[in-house]
Structure formats: structure tokens, C-alpha cells
Chain A
């Protein structure tokens, strides 16, 4: 059903929209346009002159084997963070939704990580995984695992994936729990009378009914992993050791801010933007079809 609001004043609707439009213009359209403009220019070392170079920046980047490596790193990182944070959050939400003692306290505790600044969270993870002083780091070494994320790229990757997922679990958990609580109890009871055990009930009733939530979170988590994990990586590993935890977003920062190569950095931002838009479009096109909106 469509509802229309009738305004007497012709100007009022535009005035009401103006703040939103202004924010979008200043914080998204303008920087995005600038990034696109810069991505087709090369600046001299002092930033005084710039030269229009068509797609040279893009060519250089896409020919760079390092950049392809970064793409792979990003894919591994993003898929892992999304799958891990969705999976863990769903498991925790199912547990919290079932009748357990102290469910309220448990729910509140689970929501806390979301309120934590990435840098603070990163320090916490360092205290856990530091090979000399971290509780888990020490334990792993005592078990003979040779744990040092500052030297071992795979270990560093595992740590940033855990840290980035951990923060997002809290967010996913809230949505999954709300989704679970929206499923009428009697539907689950009907299924158990129909003969379905807990596992089958989960896969044939709960999971399909949660699919709108899961789909929404899939998009959100993907975007989170691509864009919003910069702080976590920056604080924990600085993209290292080597370039083993350098994701696209981290490299944009590295090239643009640290190496002052604005053209390359902008071209990368544009590529990143295109990737995320494409991913979101694909998700809406193919995944949403399988989603059951009740």
C-alpha cells in the first residue's frame, strides 16, 4: 500500500530533505567524485601540479602482482570474517533464545563488544595473543606451536580474522535474536509434534524463517569486512608481517597517506567501491531470490 503525504507548502518537502541530501553530498558524493577525479590524474611529488593520464593508474595497479596478492588476502579475510561472525552469532542467539538460566545477563554481555572502539578491542586481543605476555599466546607456545603473529603471516591473519569477527558477532547476535523471537513458539511446537527433532527443526523451520535476517546481515558483514576493519588491522598488525594482513582498504591508506601516492590510492578506492557495489548487487540478485519473506 502506498501512502502519500500532502504538503501545502511546495518548498517544505525539499527543506525537510535538505539535511540528508547535504550530508550525503559532503560526506559521500563529494569525496567519491574527488576519488574518481584523482584516480585519472598523476600528481607531482609536491602535489603542485597534476596531469590527466586516463586509466594509467588503474593499469599500474592491476598489473602489480602485489595488488593481486592483496585482493586474495582481502577475499580470504572478508569471507572468513563474514562466515565466522554469522555462524558464531547464530549459534549464540539460538542458545540465548532457548530457555537458559541468566539469559538476560548473557545477552547483555554479548552486546558489549559492539560498543568497544576498535583500538581498545585490538589491545585486548594483543593481550590475549601476545607470545610473551598474552595468556593464549603463552599457552600456545607451551603447547609447542611456535606462536608469534608478528613473524608468522598465517597466524597474524587468524588473529585479525578473530578480532574483526568478534566485534561483528555482537551486532549479528542482536539481529538473530530478534529474528528468533519473532518466530511463533507454536510453529516450533507444531513441528515437534509433526516429529521433527531439534536439529531438523532448526534446518527446516528456524533457518528458513531467519533467512531475511541472515541475508541482511550477510550484506552488512561483507561491507564491514571490506571497509570498517581498517582500525582493527591497523592496531593489531599494521598489515604485516610483510603484507600478509594487508587488505584493500589498508592498502588504500598505505599508498595514499603513508606513501603519498594519491593517484594510485584513489584508483584503488574506486576499484574497492566497484567491488562492493558489485557484491551487493549480486547478493540482492541471487541470494534474495532464495529468501523466504513470510
Chain B
């Protein structure tokens, strides 16, 4: 079947089969390999994308469900004037990235959180990122990064 959707601000068309996963469409057909596969079963969050602004696991999402929707992947996240997005910068500054495999998903979950809740509490951060597993950092610096990003984004407004 044919679908069309907006991906990172661009209109995209694709011919897919019913079993095609959104993750494979993005990685194989659109070459957007920043979206990672860590488990294929919805359990790790490495494949997180934002669908109409909400985080979903693209490994469980049939590509057919993208039709007519708006997708943001890590490749579509940009800051002003070609700089890193403040969330990306905060992750670097806080040391919240080690191997980086969980990072695209973490950053997108953070984006969804901060878009809805610009000044989250620590426990709100934890709930929002509870679907993203990180084996390297122990999470402390990730929480710091999210709070730092929130602060910087608020100052901007």
C-alpha cells in the first residue's frame, strides 16, 4: 500500500506492506538510522520516535499507521542557526551520553516531555523516560540533562 506522511518537516511517500514496521521504513527506506533497534519488542525505547508529538516505539508500530501523520526522528531535531538543539547540548554538557545507543530515544522522549511540561519535577522526568533503558549512565546525568535543558529552554522563552 501507499502511504504519505510528514517526516522531519518533509513530505514523504512510501510503498509498504502490512507487516512493515515503522522502524524498518525509517531505517531501510529513508536511511534514517539514528532511530535504533534495541529489542524489537517495545521494551527498551531505543526506537522511540515522536508521532504527532508523542513518543511511540517504532519497532511495534506498523508503518501503515504513519499515513497522514507527522513524524519526528532524531535527525529532524535541530537548534537555531545550525546549532545543536538545546536538549542535545544539555545531554553533552551533563555527560548524559556514554555509548550513545539509547541517546536518540532519550532525547526524543525528553522533547515530548518538555513540549508539554516545560518545568517538570524529577519524578515527572523519571516517568517520562521510564520507557527508555540506558545501561551505561546509571541515569543520574540524564535526569540532570533534562532539567538543564528545561531551564535553558525556559530562559529562551
Interaction A to B: no
Q: Which residues of B contact A (CB under 8 A)?
A: none
